[in-house]
Homo-oligomer: A and B are copies of this chain.
Amino acid sequence: MQTVHASSISQPTPATLLRHIPLPRTSPDTALGTTRMVAKDAEIFAEGDRAAFVYKVVSGAVRTFRLLSDGRRQIDAFHLPGDIFGMETGEDHRFTAEALADTTFIVYRRCNLVTLDGGEFSRQVVTAMMRSLEQAQNHMLLLGRKNAVEKVATFLLVMSDRISGGNQVDLPMSRLDMADHLGLTIETVSRSLTHLEREGLIGLPTHRSIVLLNKAALRRLGT
């Protein structure tokens, strides 16, 4: 059992709420949807909300998570530009979504997913769901069977693939977000990072940016 960090249930600040303004617009990608911008830590939808929309990140990043009754949090995924999130098969959202940073996204009215019309949009949503499933399956292996250093190494490789493909990763999330995604605490994430640094596998020029110095060795750790 672990204590619940206060910030893991943080609310958007008043300033945040003020900047939480719908911005109707039209563009190639928004033919069917509406663009919105929200500030860092703003809530996009909450667990239990009616799931009337599907979302696509344009810029920034989003976390989706669930809480246990005592506040323990599991972040199931981070959503980066291009990712679709918020699909549900039932009526309601089973997750809460919050912006990791100031974020722009497109809101699509949820066409009934059960009526698979074979159209471009429904195909895109189904593809997004399949990708979510694969990621979730990889993540179950990580959560169930990897130790702290292996978890962090795997995470860095995945983020590197998704963000840059290069050797430098600029993480959009805090240590707490990483911890709640990997089933660890901030302290253990921090210790694992410094461990990897001492081993020469990564460099830590700043807190949020990480250089993967030896991807092969990192990959060996995560398999």
Contact = CB atoms under 8 A, between A and B. Distances in A.
Contacts of A1: 147
Contact of A68 (B114, B139, B223): B223
Contact of A143 (B72, B133, B143): B143
Contact of A145 (B118, B183, B223): B183
A143 B89 contact: no
Interface stretch (A27-35, A124-132, A162-170, A187-195): A124-132
A69 interface: yes
Integer count of this chain's copies in the complex: 2
A169 B27 CA distance: 55
Contacts of A20: none
Contacts of A147: 1
Taking residues whose C-beta sits less than 8 angstroms from the other chain, chain A's interface range is 35 or more
Interface in A91-146: 94-95, 113-118, 122-123, 126-127, 129-134, 136-137, 139-141, 143-146
Contact of A116 (B69, B72, B95, B126): B126
A144 B141 contact: no
A83 interface: no
A219 to B, nearest CB: 11
Contacts of A126: 116, 126
A132 B133 contact: yes
Contacts of A113: 130
Contact of A94 (B123, B132, B137, B183): B137
What are the nearest 6 A-B pairs in CB distance? A144-B183, A136-B136, A143-B143, A72-B145, A89-B130, A74-B141
